[in-house]
Structure 1
Amino acid sequence: MVRDDLCIKVPSFFRCPISLDVMKSPVSLCTGVTYDRTSIQRWLDSGNNTCPATMQVLKSKELVPNSTLQRLIQIWYDSVQHHRSHRVNSATNPVSSQDEVKCIVKDIETKKELDHCCFDALSKIQCFAEGSVENQEFLAKMDGFVPMLLDFLADNKSIDFIEQVIRVLDLILIKIGDYKELMTLLLKNKNIDCLSSLLLVFQRGRSIHSRIGSVRIVESIAMDGESNLLIAEKDGLLPELVKSIGLENYPSLIEASLSCLIAISKARRVKVKLVHLKTIPELRNILTADPNTGVSNLITEKALKLLETVSSCKEGRVEMCSDMACIEAVVQKVFKVSVEATEHAVTILWSICYLSRDVNAREAVTNSNGLTKILLLMQSNCSPTVRQMAGDLLKIFRVNSKSCLSSYDTKTTHIMPF
């Protein structure tokens, strides 16, 4: 959370009327008053049916995301972070050589207990890393630099300091040659607990860049079954990732969170946890979202991929078969987004219709013209696996080409939307 000790005035309308903190997820009641989602939800869950600010009885308890205010708060906070990160560099020359960086790192090691000194030094290193790919590679390969950053993450320092560490680590992440070493340092060293700091940024981080960076760091260490389970079993981490794919968040954060969830959800127990955390309704919201919300084709692809993963377990299929709107949304994405999205969609339909043999699911597919699309898919240049699944689906529905295409304009069947 943004603190007042930054010596920068916080606009009053950025504060939640209940908590008086800067709002992280502003939502408006039917009275027109905006609150932070966590605060007003706690108020309503306590049995209250009035607006805390006006004491009007609520005709509706619907919470409407205030996207405009959220963007204004984010712009303001990013300017605060920019001011703080670069205040030292405004008075001195920026770091331009590797030798200077080595001196700064050595200085950090001698002043580890002084947060403000380390923060300013890391700000200089961040500017150096932003300068070029070569600079990022140099930092990633510098002896002891990455372990030092991870030590900082485990020291339970202030949220602002942790966000600064994450920004630097995220910049050099792609240049770290061996993620196995990073995974060992982050997950398997019992003397440090870096996941707690990453989770803290998920929950309270004000900078969208540091929140995305935290997600990417977690994804980078999800390399095998053991690491996936260690990540998924961290208290509060999976719920926070699921919350991050909500449409009230920034598209870049949604995309990063979907990628991370896909990476860590290979084990059955993780898939079941995701089902219990109501991931499927969140994915349905993405698939049915208005294009103006910023949902890109890439986000749609990843949402379908995660839905495919979740539907591969029995609990996921049962949950999906009770959500007709979700099934219809999946059908609508066939031929509409990309080849990859179409293949994910067909795999989902195969899981819920062929494996589960659910009557309601088959009815939803039929009502949304899914059979015609499946038949057309078999006539396209799809992969052998997808072709086999499409054939299995047609057998289940006991249809033929004449019945499927009776109402379809055959003059346009050769046109593939993607």
Structure 2
Amino acid sequence: MVLSWTRRRGFHRTNKEKDQLSGSNVDTVDIVIPAHFRCPISLDLMKDPVTLSTGITYDRESIEKWIESGNQTCPVTNQVLKSFEQIPNHSIRKMIQDWCVKNQSYGIERIPTPRIPVSQYEVSEILSRITSQAQRGDDKRCQEMVGKIKTWGKESERNKRCIVDNGAGVVLANVFDLFSKISIEKYVGMLEEILGALTWMFPLGQEGISKLGSAGSLRCMVWFLNGKDLSARQNSGLVLKKLVCLNQFQVVDALVRIEGVFEAVVNMIRVPIGPTATKACFTTIFYMISFNERIKSKFVELGLVSLLLEILVDGEKDICEKALGLLDGICDCKEGKEMAKKNALTVPLMVKKILRVSDLASAISVSILWKLCDKEKKGEEGVLIEAIQVGAFQKVLVMLQVGCDESTKEKATELLKLLNIYRGRVECVQSSVEFKYLKKPF
């Protein structure tokens, strides 16, 4: 099999020479990759050649995927591997680099010298030193070594797996809990460094979750959420989200007792850092409002309903689905429902999102409308009339026709019955003027 690069000759020519050349006369050059430079598995040029005990050289990434898939033989010789050790083949790597440099004029880039992957021994050694220095209270040395772990992780996914598999998450969770209980302000640099590493070290195991879910650790994360450092705020949001997803009841129970947590997560939405942080806070709030009614009321007081509606105006799919899910949960409480009814955006937005974003968004939008209309008392038919005016009856009817799950179908049917009572009394407003007061279409 011949693999090659084809590139048009790129010599400097005068404008006159260029005018004389036609597209059909431009020469092409086929650069053939030498067979011994190609990985036997991927057939691509090797970037990090390593040799197995069988004497066959492969690209490190390809052979690692082969072994991690459960294979215990050499792909070329089919011999059972007595050792999985991969020895860097510096001779072949140097030859590949020289070949790349020689053919650089044809658009071939030089393969950079690969970094040697971190070993289990190195990870275990540095974790042992972090534990020892933490017990001595040396936060500067701890911060330095955590920074080294983060550097290893940035080099490759393989390094990340090696670090996580050797228990780094548990060790860092223990250190984070230890220093956060002593003084957040004093050890802020080290705590921030650990938090940045922990974002990619989940799952942590029961011990790690227990340490990060402690009152001291959670208080420290909320402190970072309320801070000015954007990176620390985002990392805190990501770690909190993963914690509540893994251990919902215990973590949320401890989290809601911390002063300032409600304001912190709402502010993360009000002044967004980025989509990742916003979605993480949505998830955290979702688990928090599932805890009890008092928490829902607290979020309503902080203006979460209006914030969610503003986000829904032009939010992307993932953001919309999560925002709708939160609004649906908040509408289960009396205060949330009343606040949603008072906001002029609520009904038009819910109708507009039906059959517009996704099946999930449509189902949640119907659920919200049903909650706002279901128990309308006589003389309080404002929501129903407004829903009809912006086309809710037609939208819900189409949704039933195209199909939906049983729970949504039941709510949609009840909603249609309620809307049908007033359908003949009001006219449907054209969609072209429904949202003329909004800045962006949605």
What amino acid maps onto 1:171 in structure 2?
W
Per-residue Cα deviation, 1:103-161 (whole angstroms, up to 9, x for no partner): 22222233232332211100111123343252243244776453233323434243332
Task: Please tell me whether residue 161 in structure 1 is matched to residue 184 in structure 2.
Answer: no
Contact persistence 1:95–1:125 (CA under 8 A): no
Pairing of 1:16-415 with structure 2 (within 5 A): 96-112=118-134, 113-130=137-154, 131-132=156-157, 133-140=160-167, 144-155=171-182, 156=184, 157-173=186-202, 175-178=203-206, 181-187=207-213, 189=214, 193-208=216-231, 210-222=232-244, 223-246=247-270, 248-266=272-290, 267-289=292-314, 295-357=315-377, 358-398=380-420
**Aligned length in residues:** 305
- Judge which range, 139-148 or 161-170, deviates more: 139-148
Determine the C-alpha separation between the residues in 2 that align with 1:103 and 1:377.
60
Determine the C-alpha separation between the residues in 1 that align with 2:342 and 2:252.
28
State the secondary structure of the residue aligned to 1:110.
Answer: helix
Contact persistence 2:221–2:236 (CA under 8 A): yes
Runs of at least 5 residues in structure 2 that lack an aligned partner in the other structure: 1-114, 431-442
Determine the C-alpha separation between the residues in 1 that align with 2:166 and 2:322.
31
Determine the C-alpha separation between the residues in 1 that align with 2:162 and 2:388.
56
Determine the C-alpha separation between the residues in 1 that align with 2:285 and 2:372.
21
What amino acid maps onto 1:115 in structure 2?
D
Which structure has the bigger radius of gyration? 2
Contact persistence 1:159–1:205 (CA under 8 A): no
Per-residue Cα deviation, 1:237-287 (whole angstroms, up to 9, x for no partner): 111101111265322221111121112210222111111111001001101
In structure 2, relative to structure 1, the CA distance for the partners of 1:320 and 1:207 (3 Å cut) is: closer
In structure 2, relative to structure 1, the CA distance for the partners of 1:118 and 1:225 (3 Å cut) is: closer
Determine the C-alpha separation between the residues in 2 that align with 1:125 and 1:141.
9
- Judge which range, 319-328 or 93-102, deviates more: 93-102
Determine the C-alpha separation between the residues in 2 that align with 1:95 and 1:154.
35
State the secondary structure of the residue aligned to 1:288.
Answer: helix
Runs of at least 5 residues in structure 1 that lack an aligned partner in the other structure: 1-92, 290-294, 409-418
TM-score, length basis structure 2: 0.63
Determine the C-alpha separation between the residues in 1 that align with 2:397 and 2:372.
18
Determine the C-alpha separation between the residues in 2 that align with 1:272 and 1:216.
24
Contact persistence 1:119–1:161 (CA under 8 A): yes
What amino acid maps onto 1:281 in structure 2?
S
TM-score, length basis structure 1: 0.66
Per-residue Cα deviation, 1:2-50 (whole angstroms, up to 9, x for no partner): xxxxxxxxxxxxxxxxxxxxxxxxxxxxxxxxxxxxxxxxxxxxxxxxx
Identical counterparts, % of pairs = 20
Instruction: Flag the structure with more relative contact order, 1 or 2, with Cα contacts below 8 A and sequence separation at least 6.
Output: 1
Per-residue Cα deviation, 1:282-337 (whole angstroms, up to 9, x for no partner): 00110123xxxxx3210011000000010011111111111121221122111111
Contact persistence 2:240–2:284 (CA under 8 A): yes
Per-residue Cα deviation, 1:381-405 (whole angstroms, up to 9, x for no partner): 2001101101111111225999999
Q: RMSD of the alignment, in Å?
A: 2.9
State the secondary structure of the residue aligned to 1:171.
Answer: coil
In structure 2, relative to structure 1, the CA distance for the partners of 1:402 and 1:353 (3 Å cut) is: closer
